[in-house]
Structure formats: structure tokens, C-alpha cells
């Protein structure tokens, strides 16, 4: 009986030690993982985001020093404060010297890039990288509806809406009407029909949908939603009108629509 109790006690101690070891950051040794792609099977790399954490937890602000592109993804040498390191993310337009944000990141060690015939001692896989001025329409709201004073954001992809007729559902209002008198709609749920010109997915547990309807495309109207909408898709969506919202990390809006729900 004494021997049995000692064995049980020893097993319990070993279990506690193993559990404690697993609480550290996830590190993948590529000697054991032989995938040649940064994102295996085209899946998005998981992040180390904690449940119920705020957006600024685990948020990284980086400046790009060097870009190594491949067909599906890019390697970036970046600075975060005084620290310099490499990250990899899906292929997108990135400029040297510009500032970007990302959240989380999965660390890989001893990663071999066959495209560049080099070994990265450590590199972080990043699922989403956004510009420092992403989706920011602060100081661009023009209540006088003077189209000559408001300028389009040059970082946004210009997806034309005038060539295809947008069929608005009954009850939809035009973006120009909303921008002309936003206080009239503040705190109310409205319906908008338009084209998704850009989307930043999975930021702050929501998707950030940029919408144009041809009535005032020089204003960057953003709708947050739990629904993912591919760029170029025509949608009708209901959402709550909010004014003067600052979510932090560059997400500042004079006018934004929140908690969007698609209308079938």
C-alpha cells in the first residue's frame, strides 16, 4: 500500500511539471515540421491572443525595413521599438519605412526558406497585417456635403460602383444622405446597400467592411460585423450609427456603423 501511494504521488508530481511546461509560448521547431510553406495548406496561422483580452493586449506596432516577397506570402524584416526581427504574412502591398500593426503571432525556429535559400533562426507567422492609417475617417466627415473638400484615401483600393447598378433593398439610405446629416441618425439602426471595397477581417473580434454605393465614394464608410464579406461583393446591411469613436491603435472614426447584420 505504501509503495502504491508513493507511485501515485510521483505520477501526480510529473503531471504537474508537464502541465506547467505547456503554458509557455508555442514554438515550432521546423526540424520536426517539414512544410515548405509558411502557412501550411493555405490556413491562417493561429495567434497567441488570450480569451477576453482587450485589443491592445499582444498588439505589435512595427516599421518595415526589408521585404522578401514570394508568390503567396511575404517575409518582412521589421523593427518594434529597439528590437529587430522577421515576420511572415500573406502576400499584400507593403512599403519599406511604413508602419503597420499586427496582433499575436506564431513563433517558428530554425525555419528554412527554400525560395531564398536561407535559414531564419526565428520568425513569427502573422495572420493579419494592417496599415497604421487603416480605415481611419477621422477629420474627413463633411457635414456640408462639399465634395471638393473631402479627398479619397489613397491607400484604399478603388473598386468602381458606377459601372454596375446597385439594387438597394427597400428601406436603404444612400451614404451621401448619411454623411450629410450624421447626427440625425446617431444611435439609430439604418440600412445601407453597396459594394464591399475592402475588408480587414478578425480585428478586435470583428470584421471591418468598407462600403461604397456611388453616392459619396470620397468618404470611407466602415461597417463592423461578425460576418465576413469578400471584396467586390454587393451587400445590403443593417447597422447602428455611431459618431466620434476611438478604438485605439489607429481605429478612429468620425462616423462608423457597428454590429452590422446582412439583409437577405
The share of the chain scoring above pLDDT 70, in percent, equals 64
The order of strands in the sheet holding 73-80 is 27-29, 106-113, 118-125, 83-90, 73-80, 59-69, 99-103, 129-131
Same fold for the pair 24-131 and 135-264 = yes
| CA-CA-CA-CA dihedral for 177, 183, 187, 191, to nearest 10 | 0
Mean pLDDT within 80-100: 93
Please say whether the beta carbons of 83 and 120 come within 8 A. no
* pLDDT at 130 (0 to 100): 81
Residues in the chain: 264
pLDDT band at 154 (very low <50, low <70, confident <90, very high): very low
Grid coordinates of 193:
446597400
Listed residue (260, 261, 229, 227) closest to 242, CA to CA: 260
Question: What ranges do the domains of the chain cover?
Answer: 24-131, 135-264
Domain 135-264 has CATH 3.50.50.60: no
Please say whether the beta carbons of 224 and 209 come within 8 A. yes
Summarize pLDDT for 19-61 with one digit per residue, the tens. Answer: 444 443 333 333 333 344 555 433 333 333 333 334 445 778 8
Tell me how far apart the alpha carbons of residues 124 and 104 are, in angstroms, rounded to a whole number: 9
Q: Assess whether pLDDT exceeds 50 at residue 156.
A: no
What is the C-alpha radius of gyration for the chain, rounded to an integer number of angstroms? 23
* pLDDT at 38 (0 to 100): 55
Grid coordinates of 81:
521599438
* pLDDT at 248 (0 to 100): 75
* pLDDT at 247 (0 to 100): 81
* pLDDT at 142 (0 to 100): 58
Find the range with the poorest average confidence among 206-220, 227-241, 243-257: 243-257
Q: How many other C-beta atoms lie within 10 A of the C-beta of residue 125?
A: 23
Q: Assess whether pLDDT exceeds 80 at residue 12.
A: no
**0.75 surpassed by pTM:** no
* pLDDT at 216 (0 to 100): 93
Tell me how far apart the alpha carbons of residues 161 and 174 are, in angstroms, rounded to a whole number: 13
Grid coordinates of 65:
525595413
* pLDDT at 132 (0 to 100): 76
Mean pLDDT within 189-218: 91
Q: Assess whether pLDDT exceeds 60 at residue 185.
A: yes
* pLDDT at 256 (0 to 100): 96
Backbone angles phi, psi at 209, to 5 degrees: -100, 125
pLDDT band at 69 (very low <50, low <70, confident <90, very high): very high
Q: What is the CATH number of domain 24-131?
A: 2.40.50
Q: Assess whether pLDDT exceeds 60 at residue 208.
A: yes
pLDDT band at 246 (very low <50, low <70, confident <90, very high): confident
Mean pLDDT computed over every residue of the chain: 76
Mean pLDDT within 192-217: 90
Mean pLDDT within 68-76: 93
Summarize pLDDT for 93-115 with one digit per residue, the tens. Answer: 899 999 988 888 899 999 999 89
Which DSSP string corresponds to the chain?
Answer: -HHHHHHHHHHHHHHHHHHHHTTS--EEETTT---SSSSGGGPPPP--PPTT--TTTTEEEEEEEEEEE-SSEEEEEEEETTEEEEEEEES----TT-EEEEE--EEEEEEEETTTTEEEEEEEE-S-EEETTTT--TT---TT--TTT----TTS-----SSS---PPTT-B-HHHHHHSGGGTTTSEEEEEEEEEEEEEEETTEEEEEEE-SS-TTS-EEEEESS---TT-EEEEEEEEEEEEEEETTEEEEEEEEEEEE--
Amino acid at each position: 500500500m505504501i509503495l502504491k501511494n508513493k507511485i501515485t504521488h510521483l505520477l501526480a508530481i510529473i503531471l504537474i511539471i508537464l502541465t506547467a511546461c505547456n503554458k509557455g509560448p508555442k514554438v515550432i521547431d521546423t526540424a520536426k515540421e517539414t512544410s515548405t510553406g509558411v502557412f501550411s495548406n493555405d490556413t491562417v496561422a493561429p495567434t497567441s491572443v488570450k480569451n477576453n483580452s482587450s485589443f491592445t493586449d499582444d498588439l505589435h506596432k512595427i516599421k518595415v525595413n526589408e521585404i522578401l516577397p514570394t508568390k503567396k506570402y511575404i517575409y518582412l524584416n521589421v523593427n518594434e521599438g529597439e528590437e529587430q526581427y522577421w515576420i511572415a504574412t500573406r502576400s499584400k502591398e507593403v512599403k519599406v519605412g511604413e508602419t503597420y500593426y499586427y496582433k499575436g503571432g506564431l513563433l517558428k525556429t530554425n525555419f528554412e526558406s527554400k525560395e531564398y535559400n536561407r535559414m531564419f533562426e526565428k520568425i513569427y507567422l502573422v495572420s493579419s497585417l494592417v496599415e497604421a492609417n487603416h480605415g481611419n475617417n477621422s477629420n474627413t466627415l463633411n457635414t456640408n456635403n462639399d465634395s471638393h473638400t473631402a479627398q479619397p484615401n489613397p491607400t484604399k483600393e478603388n473598386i468602381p460602383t458606377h459601372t454596375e447598378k446597385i439594387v438597394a433593398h427597400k428601406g436603404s439610405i444612400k451614404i451621401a444622405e448619411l454623411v450629410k446629416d450624421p447626427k440625425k441618425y446617431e444611435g439609430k439602426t439604418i440600412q445601407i446597400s453597396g459594394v464591399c471595397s475592402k475588408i480587414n477581417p478578425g480585428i478586435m473580434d470583428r470584421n471591418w467592411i468598407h462600403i461604397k454605393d456611388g453616392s459619396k465614394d470620397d468618404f470611407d464608410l466602415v461597417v463592423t460585423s461578425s460576418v465576413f464579406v469578400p471584396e467586390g461583393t454587393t451587400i445590403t446591411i443593417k447597422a447602428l450609427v455611431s459618431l466620434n469613436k476611438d478604438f485605439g491603435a489607429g481605429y478612429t472614426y468620425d462616423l462608423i456603423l457597428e454590429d452590422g447584420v446582412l439583409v437577405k
